[in-house]
Amino acid sequence: MHLFSPASLPLLLAVPRVPTVVMQRSDAERRDQLRQLFGKKAADDLVPLTSRERAEADAQEVQMLQDGPQELEWGAVRLVDVDMADGPLELALQPLLAGPSQLLCLRLDMPLGMALEESGDGGDGGDEDAPQARQIVVTELLDSGSARGGGVEVGDLVRATTYVTMGMSYPAWQLMLGGVGKPTLLKSVLAAEKASFETVLAAIGSNGQEAQGNGQVVLFVERGG
């Protein structure tokens, strides 16, 4: 049995304590590891982005419109260099298909030469918060249109389309002289799940030259992997 004497007490008190260091991973590191294991969507759901991270991620989504099928990331998209558009086309899309899928953007000449059908109920698209089960599916491609050679495939889901509408244009020189905007035909983008089937068809058709468009449409389609 060892007995402590008063003389040994200062020695015991002088022994330094070793601090315990707990290594904590940042949210970004956790998100990266989860993406490697379960994919981007699951990782973002488990470790949501902060407002600052979301803003930075959105800023990185600005892309130039390209010829041919162009793959985009799910989430917020800003597409520039679109004819007749007064600024970038902006929309936010998430996958509808249960399995892996990709988001493609295609610039096509009118007429398209493709048949579309509506599947699911989906409601009338009036309530933005209501779940939308409806899908607009490409069911047939004809030789007479641009869709077949432009990258569209049977089974693709039409997720969004450009449409032509009357808007206000604000030329910089006119504003410098104290003027105001002038009415002009502009292109915007319509998310298919937020509109009726007939509205989507009309939006696609508005891009044709006979409807005062420029004869080109930009389609966003979802393709199962």
53-81 per-position pLDDT tens digit: 666 555 555 688 888 899 999 999 999 88
Residues 36 and 146 in one domain: no
Residues 147 and 81 in one domain: yes
Tell me: pLDDT of 46 over 70: yes
Residues 52 and 154 in one domain: no
Residues 220 and 136 in one domain: yes
138 in a structural domain: yes
3 in a structural domain: no
Q: How many residues does the chain have?
A: 225
**CB 193, CB 76: distance < 8 Å:** no
CA angle 94, 207, 60 (to 5 degrees): 35
pLDDT at 11: 46
pLDDT at 12: 44
Residues 112 and 131 in one domain: yes
Residues 95 and 41 in one domain: no
85-134 per-position pLDDT tens digit: 888 999 999 999 999 999 999 999 999 999 999 987 554 444 555 444 58
How many domains in the chain?
Answer: 2
9 in a structural domain: no
Work out the number of other CB atoms within 10 angstroms of the CB of residue 162.
26
146-200 per-position pLDDT tens digit: 999 999 999 999 999 999 998 766 555 555 555 566 678 999 999 999 899 999 9
Rg of the chain on CA atoms, in Å: 27
Residues 108 and 31 in one domain: no
Measured between its terminal Cα atoms, the distance across the chain in Å is: 73
Cβ contacts of 214 within 8 Å, gap of 6 or more? 83, 84, 207
Q: Show the domain range for 77.
A: 66-224
pLDDT at 70: 95
**What is the percent of the chain where pLDDT is above 70?**
69
Residues 89 and 55 in one domain: no
- Mean pLDDT score, 38-55: 71
Residues 56 and 119 in one domain: no
Residues 35 and 91 in one domain: no
156 in a structural domain: yes
Residues 113 and 143 in one domain: yes
Could you tell me the pLDDT band of residue 51, with boundaries at 50, 70 and 90? confident
Domain end point (choices 7, 42, 60): 60
Work out the number of other CB atoms within 10 angstroms of the CB of residue 120.
13
202 in a structural domain: yes
pLDDT at 121: 59
Residues 43 and 142 in one domain: no
CATH number reported for the structural domain that contains residue 195 in this entry: 2.30.42.10
